[in-house]
Amino acid sequence: MKQQLKRVLRRHRAVLVSLFAILAIAGGLTLASGQVGPALGASAEITNWGLSFQEEGKAPVGNASSEYLQQYNALYCTGGEEKVLYLTFDAGFENGNTGKILDALKKHGVKATFFLVGNYFETQPDLVRRMVEEGHLVGNHTYSHPDMSKIADQASFQAELLKNEELYRSVTGQEMKKVYRPPQGKFCQSNLEMAKDLGYHTVFWSLAYVDWYENDQPTREEAFEKLLPRVHPGAVVLLHSTSATNGEILEELLTKWEEMGYTFGDLESLLSL
């Protein structure tokens, strides 16, 4: 009887797994790596942040729900119907495009968040100071940009963040605000718990496009094809400051979003940092 019950349970489990895979593919959930995977209400498994855009002008579905992320002071968009955007930039190094980006932000009066790695603080202190002086929030993208989901102990996790806090203090003379973005969007539940325990807010994103390949940049048209139809109220926008395309189009992009009725908020105010 027990063996028969086990066989039945195995068959049911196989059917559910197959059905889940079919639904994931049908939903078109695109991960940061370009793979396809299921949406998660909550998970302790290592995963890549991913989004499924199901309706133009509406927030996408993340592979972890807003309710799940809120438990750990984490978010990927703000929800609601207010047409406010939150611009964020990831910066792993500097290649001459950040100045143009800062110029466009200043022209439009937009306060963005720049998530920086250790190398950026060490090699670009003047740009870091400019970001702060012009009212932008500098966030923690870890010191060495590792896969944080593979770090199991809090001491090692904390070390990646503390190094940047110390560099920020030495460059600006100020204390770094506790806002963090996992490199490559790789995370797991224990990471979210550790970040929260350290007083950090974890920030993912709800709008991005493939702009990070320095030698294979999208055209202006390709960028607008991704960034205009998918914009939505409460979006946290991820761009890379290493993108020459972003440097060239940002002023025009901000204008187009404004013409669509959007305004720009800042994460520092949103998170009450």
Q: Which residues pair with 74 in a beta bridge?
A: 202
Q: How many CA atoms lie within 13 A of 258 on its CB side?
A: 12
Known catalytic residues? Answer: 90, 240
For the whole model, what pTM was predicted?
Answer: 0.85
Domain ranges of the chain: 71-270
Q: What share of the chain is helix, strand, coil (3-state, %, to 5)?
A: 45, 15, 40
- The C-alpha atoms of residue 60 and residue 141 are separated, in whole angstroms, by 23
For every one of its 273 residues, what pLDDT tens digit does the chain have, with 9 covering 90 and above? 434 433 433 343 333 333 333 233 233 343 343 333 444 544 457 689 999 999 999 999 999 999 999 999 999 999 899 999 999 999 999 999 999 999 999 999 999 999 999 999 999 999 999 999 999 999 999 999 999 999 999 999 999 999 999 999 999 999 999 999 999 999 999 999 999 999 999 999 999 999 999 999 999 999 999 999 999 999 999 999 999 999 999 999 999 999 999 999 999 999 998
Question: For residues 152 and 188, what is the distance between their CA atoms, to the nearest angstrom?
Answer: 10
Fold category of 71-270 in CATH: TIM Barrel (3.20.20)
